[in-house]
């Protein structure tokens, strides 16, 4: 990368110490940016794999059934039994469902079940919306720059140093000294 940046600058007529520093900075940004881009692509592939594995038509049908059954509840006092019956808790009996679990269910699941029953989306639309929501959630909690920085190893530092040094040397020497 350093040879490419420094060589392009020298070919365009750049020379001098300031030009070498600019080439070194551009090289550093390109190397780190490439590492972040590779990380983002990798995460994108993982998201696609999770979506393909999790958001199946069987799961969609299960949610549709849950939403229909939930719509038939008469009051929130039936939430615990619903949670046990439909697997929204690990408790085996309604009496064992904790108040914290019910509150979490009310906060996270109830709005989704109500919306699903009201909208009754087609599978493809539902799957696309779930993918977008999951991707947004990951993006909010995923700092690729921080992860790329924490994954820098000795080889990355060595190649980075040589890339920056090459960019500086070639970029500062100019076209005539080649």
**49 vs 125, higher pLDDT:** 125
Domain tally, the chain: 1
The parent domain of residue 28 ranges over 2-173
The encoded tokens of residue 7 equal 């060589």
User: Does 152 fall in a domain?
Assistant: yes
178 belongs to a structural domain? no
Q: How far apart are CA 124 and CA 115, in angstroms?
A: 16
Cβ neighbours of 106 (radius 10 Å): 12
Which whole number is the average pLDDT over 103-121? Answer: 95
Greater confidence, 63 or 34? 63
Instruction: Give φ, ψ of 143 to 5 degrees.
Output: -110, 95
Q: Is residue 51 part of a domain?
A: yes
Percentage of the chain beyond pLDDT 70 is 90
**For the residues 47-68, what does the mean pLDDT come to?**
90
Residue 102 placed within a domain: yes
User: Which pLDDT belongs to residue 4?
Assistant: 80
Report pTM.
0.56
Q: Let me know the angle formed at the C-alpha of 140 by 137 and 142, rounded to the nearest 5 degrees.
A: 100
In a domain, 41, yes or no: yes
Residue 64 domain-assigned (yes or no): yes
Q: How far apart are CA 55 and CA 43, in angstroms?
A: 18
pLDDT at 102: 95
Beta carbons of 13 and 172 less than 8 angstroms apart:
no
Task: Please give the structure tokens belonging to residue 99.
Answer: 């108040």
Q: Is 84 a member of any domain? A: yes
pLDDT over threshold 90, residue 142: no
Residue 169: inside a domain: yes
**Are 152 and 4 a contacting pair, CB within 8 Å?**
no
Instruction: Using the predicted structure, report yes or no on whether residue 178 has a pLDDT greater than 50.
Output: no
């Amino acid at each position: 990368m350093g040879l490419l940046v420094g060589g392009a600058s020298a070919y365009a007529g750049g020379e001098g110490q300031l030009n070498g520093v600019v080439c070194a900075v551009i090289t550093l940004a390109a190397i780190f940016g490439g590492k972040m881009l590779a990380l983002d692509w990798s995460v994108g592939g993982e998201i696609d794999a999770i979506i393909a594995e999790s958001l199946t038509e069987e799961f969609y049908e299960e949610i549709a059934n849950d939403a229909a059954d939930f719509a038939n509840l008469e009051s929130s006092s039936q939430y615990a039994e619903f949670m046990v019956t439909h697997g929204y808790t690990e408790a085996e009996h309604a009496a064992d469902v904790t108040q914290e679990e019910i509150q979490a269910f009310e906060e996270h699941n109830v709005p989704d079940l109500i919306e699903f029953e009201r909208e009754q989306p087609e599978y493809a639309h539902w799957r696309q919306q779930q993918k977008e929501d999951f991707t947004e959630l990951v993006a909010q909690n995923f700092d690729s720059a921080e992860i790329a920085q924490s994954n820098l190893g000795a080889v990355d530092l060595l190649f980075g140093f040589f890339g920056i040094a090459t960019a500086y040397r070639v970029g500062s020497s100019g076209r005539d000294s080649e």
